[in-house]
Amino acid sequence: MTIEELFRQAKMNRDMLYEGRITHVLVGTATCGRAAGAMAVLEAFRRETAGSGIDVRVTEVGCMGLCSQEPLVIIIKPDNLTVCYHHVTPQIVHQLVEGYILGDDPCLDLALGTVSGGDGSPVIIPELESFERQQRLLLRNSGFNSPLEIDHYIACGGYAGLANALKSQTTQVIEEIERSGLRGRGGAGYPTGAKLRACSEAAGDSKYVICNADEGDPGAFMDRVLIESDPHALLEGMAIAGFAAGARQGYIYVREEYPLAIERLQRALAQAAEKGVLGSGILGSQFDFHIEIVKGAGAFVSGEETAMIAAIEGRRSWPDQRPPYPAQSGLWDKPTLVNNVKTLALLPQIIRNGGEWFAGMGTKQCSGTALFALAGKLVNTGLAEVPMGTTLRTLVYDIGGGIRNGRQFKGVQIGGPSGGCLPESLLDTPIDFESLKQAGAVMGSGGLIVMDEDNCMVDTARFFTDFSRRESCGKCTPCRIGTCQMLRMLEDFTRGQGTLQDLDTLQSIAEDIRATSLCGLGRMSPNPVLTTLRYYRAEYEAHILEKRCPARVCKDLTAYYILPEKCERGCDHCVLACPAEAIFSDGQGLKVVDQVKCTKCGSCEAVCPPEYNAVVRLSPVSLVPAGRRTRPETP
Amino acid sequence: MDTARKAEIFNEGRRQRRHLIDILQDIQSCEGYLSREAMQEVAAFLSLPPSAVWGVATFYNQFRFTPPGRNPVRVCMGTACHLAGGQLVLEAMARELKLEIGATSEDREFSLERVACIGCCALAPVVTIGESVYPKMTPPRVEEILVQMKPAEGRGKSGDGPT
């Protein structure tokens, strides 16, 4: 079938869905929605509408990227508003069915806003400020189109990019991508067109395309959301890349920790083969392209392209020296194109709308959009897609809604364990590969984690260094031994040990690792240390010189203390919760923490009723008044 | 492992090195872990030295070499969870279950693992037990959840109950 026929058919199927007299309930059931209870909501809708006598269709969709509002539900009612509801529970479902599906009350008190877009234009909630600064290319269908139905994708212009490509010469496709200025979204920002050209011009009959969906940064989940919400965009992008590079086989290397993404990809692959948009003789052309899913077995280093190739070959995921680059000699020594999910998923729109169109967005050096996963202490956590060149401040405040609970902003970590921590003074840095690098961070995968005054920067550097040490593959010495050495020193600092001279030693070890490690992950592993030393040196000094953790996080420098003026005496919550039996009553019934017995587990602080709020953390520990440190000796 | 599943895992089409990880994953999803015998069988099937199979299996985080508990407890130690107090939750789990990280209880009821990011950062800190996800955890909630899971058993301390 030609693309025109497929489109007509898909559009007809979709129009029957949306322009008929049917009410639609879309439930966001991506992994994040499920964790918040979306499956119970889905069940409740199916149950409540089953005997209602009204034609209602309940559909699973992906994620709009509003993680803090999950579970999300969209109700599309003929001749009525399309409304998005948040924090939906099975109890609310009953209300929505009675109110809006059977009745005429759109239950606006439960709504997040109305929904506009769809049909290929980006789906947005115009009432929400966080959408105003966004430009949604990758997320345009997310949370609205069903990832389980290929017709939804085709009806929104899907696979038209591939059809266009197949009518052109491979060189024309590569030129179009070069014109777009697209740079790899996996982190390094290498021009995608140049990579494609190198692979296309490399000698050899067998070539491969690999999609990197390993997303190992702890705190990043954009690729998962894209695959779970709009899997065909990736498949189409891979086929276009395959056509341009001269490859007939593609592999998607996806983390085994993403079972739902794998399931949705498998379903999408089967449907694409059935429609003839993947497989042999795609859309009646001479071009064959097959895609296989390879499940990663959990190793951060597999995100490095040569290490990923080793993993697909069934070996330990060890990186190799480059050159030769995979574009010359990659999988089974054949020319191989390795690209991130986001890079590949952008190709269909670039081919369909032209390179100029894409180059017109973002900045001159970095065209297009950047997709971030916002997490940490923000009001609005979730996904945000903004034009390149947008400032960090816009992301944190306009889209992220600022810091929760009125706390003070302290830093933003971009790019996970390979990235850096940037302070308030750098919030006006524009988001592009060069500016972030200059500030000491990296674009990286797109994980963006915001920290407030309750987070300790020394502990944060320790956390990321511990991650890099655990995940170091061990092949080269600087990374294997260097991360251990850095970790030991950081652990000392969190205990108030070490000297100021150690800070200089730490700096020089970090610089050596950066200069001499074999692969990019090793070279970037000292970034959290280097940036925290650069921007938060005072915090290191407080730990070392004053034995004080300003955020009161580092256990050895912090004491739990019960304020006598706030303790309610009669309430025994803390006493009962303390697993170390460290809390006792003094002569007046006021609770006291025995500092010798206390294991600093935080239970007392968590259970102290908010109306008393008597448990506080003090740092340095010498702030605990002398008379209230231990249980008095009993004769 | 039943014979049919075994035949599926060790099918002729997979007698290539590139299927090694795939085969190990399938065995683990059937048996819960990789036994020495299973790995030897894989080595023979792929004509690889057992050391090569062992070398690959021990490299990746996914593979385990002891049987997991019936209730595998996984505490997320991703960045967002760490910043929200995940370490205290992990320590509370270890304390309440009387298990070291990576260990399985003698009665095989519980096992405890730390995992790197399960992608639910908005719900941090997160714990999963089997298929269930427990969002926004605190040390006292650890105790509550475990009390609900093993109601018949006496708890470590006398006099305490869910708060």
Length of chain A: 635
Is residue B107 less than 8 Å (CB to CB) from chain A?
Answer: no
Q: At A407, list the tokens.
A: 């706390």
Q: How confident is the model at residue B157 (pLDDT cuts 50, 70, 90)?
A: very low
B130 touches chain A (CB under 8 A): no
Instruction: Identify whether residues B13 and B47 lie together within a single domain.
Output: yes
Say if residue B159's pLDDT is above 60.
Answer: no
Tell me how crowded residue A605 is: count the other CB atoms within 10 A of its CB: 22
Mark yes or no for CB contact A295/B92 under 8 Å.
Answer: no
Q: Identify the weakest region by mean pLDDT among A296-305, A405-414, B127-136.
A: B127-136
Looking at this predicted complex, what is its ipTM? 0.91
The whole-number pLDDT of residue A446 equals 85
C-alpha torsion sign, points A109, A112, A113, A117: negative
Geometric angle at alpha carbon B110, from A583 and B3, rounded to 5°? 175
A3-144 CATH choice from 3.30.465.10, 1.10.3720.10, 3.40.30.10, 3.90.550.10: 3.40.30.10
Q: In what order do the strands lie in the sheet with A111-114?
A: A56-61, A23-28, A73-76, A82-85, A111-114
Query: So what's the architecture of A558-628 in CATH?
Result: 2-Layer Sandwich (3.30)
pLDDT at site A139: 95
Tens of pLDDT, residues B66-106: 999 999 999 999 888 998 899 999 999 999 999 999 899 99
A500 touches chain B (CB under 8 A): no
Q: What CATH number corresponds to the domain at position B116?
A: 3.40.30.10
Question: Residue B18, Cβ neighbours under 10 Å: how many?
Answer: 17
In SS3 terms, A312-328 reads as HCCCCCCCCCCCCCCCC
pLDDT of A8: 87
Using the 3D structure, point to which of B39, B59, B79 is the last residue of a domain: B59
pLDDT of residue A254: 96
B75 to chain A, closest Cα gap in Å:
13
Structural domain range at position B10: 3-59
DSSP, collapsed to helix, strand or coil, labels residue A363 as coil
- CATH fold, domain A457-546, is de novo design (two linked rop proteins) (1.20.1440)
Q: What is the mean pLDDT of residues A164-180?
A: 97
Strands (DSSP E) found in A62-133: 73-76, 82-85, 111-114, 116-118, 121-124
Q: Does domain A157-359 have CATH number 3.40.50.11540?
A: yes
Which of B 144-163 lie inside 8 A of A, CB atoms?
156-157, 159-161, 163
Pair (B39, B83) in one structural domain: no
Distance from CA of B125 to the nearest CA of A (A): 10
Cβ of B133 within 8 Å of Cβ of A35? The answer is yes
Inter-chain CB proximity A257 and B118 less than 8 Å? yes
Contact criterion met (CB < 8 Å) for B25 and A256:
yes
pLDDT of residue A19: 67
For residue A255, the chain B residue with the least C-alpha distance is B62
Q: Residue B154: which pLDDT band, with cuts at 50, 70 and 90?
A: very low
% residues pLDDT > 90 (chain A): 84
Domain count, chain B: 2
Please state whether the peptide bond connecting residue B125 to the residue before it is cis, i.e. omega within 30 degrees of 0: yes
Distance CA A474, CA A478 (A): 9
Least confident of A260-269, A440-449, A472-481, B84-93: A440-449
Residues B54 and B81 in one domain: no
So what's the pLDDT on residue A54? 82
What pLDDT does A6 receive?
Answer: 87
Instruction: Tell me the per-residue pLDDT of A567-594, one tens digit each, with 9 for 90 and over.
Output: 988 889 999 999 889 999 988 889 999 9
Query: Rounded mean pLDDT of A162-190?
Result: 95
Q: What is the pLDDT of residues B30-71, one digit of tens each?
A: 999 999 999 999 999 999 999 999 999 999 999 999 999 999
Are residues B103 and B45 part of one domain? no
| Residues A39-63, mean pLDDT to the nearest whole number | 91
Look at residue A163 and tell me whether its pLDDT is greater than 70.
Answer: yes
Q: Calculate the alpha carbon distances from A598 to A193, A459, A572, B66, B95 in Å.
A: 59, 21, 17, 34, 14
pLDDT tens per residue across span A181-220: 999 998 889 999 999 999 999 999 899 999 999 988 888 8
Chain B residues touching residue A32 (CB < 8 angstroms): 119-120, 122-123
pLDDT digits (tens, 9 = 90+) for A612-624: 999 999 999 999 9
Within this chain, do residues B99 and B145 fall inside the same structural domain, yes or no?
Answer: yes
pLDDT in tens, A115-156: 998 877 899 999 999 999 999 999 999 999 999 999 999 999
Residues of chain A contacting B119 with CB distance shorter than 8 Å = 31-32, 221, 224, 257-258
The CATH number of A369-452 is: 3.10.20.600
Q: Walk across the sheet containing A290-296 and list its strands.
A: A290-296, A249-255, A208-213, A336-340
CA distance B115 to chain A (A): 9
* Cβ contact, residue pair B121, A35, below 8 Å: no
Confidence tier at A78 by pLDDT (50, 70, 90): confident
Last residue of a domain, one of B59, B80, B95: B59
Q: Which pLDDT tens digit goes with each residue over A2-40?
A: 888 888 888 877 776 666 678 999 999 998 899 889 999
Query: Average of pLDDT values for A37-63?
Result: 91
Q: In this structure, are B92 and B138 located in the same domain?
A: yes
Residue of B46, B87, B121 to mutate, interface with A, max A Cβ within 10 Å: B121
Tell me what the mean pLDDT of segment A93-103 comes to. Answer: 94
What band does B2 get if pLDDT is binned at 50, 70 and 90? Answer: confident
B61–A224: do the CB atoms touch at under 8 Å? no
Q: What is the mean pLDDT of residues A478-500?
A: 97
User: pLDDT band at B163, cuts 50/70/90?
Assistant: very low
My answer on whether B48 and B101 are in the same domain is no
The answer on B142 and B76 residing in a single domain is yes
- B136-145 pLDDT per residue, tens: 999 989 989 9
Does some domain include residue B32?
Answer: yes
Q: What is the mean pLDDT of chain A?
A: 94
pLDDT the model gives residue B156: 42
Cross-strand bridge partners of residue B71: B110
Nearest Cα residue in chain B from A452: B83
Same domain, B142 and B106: yes
Taking the CB of residue A325, how many other CB atoms lie within 10 A of it? Answer: 18
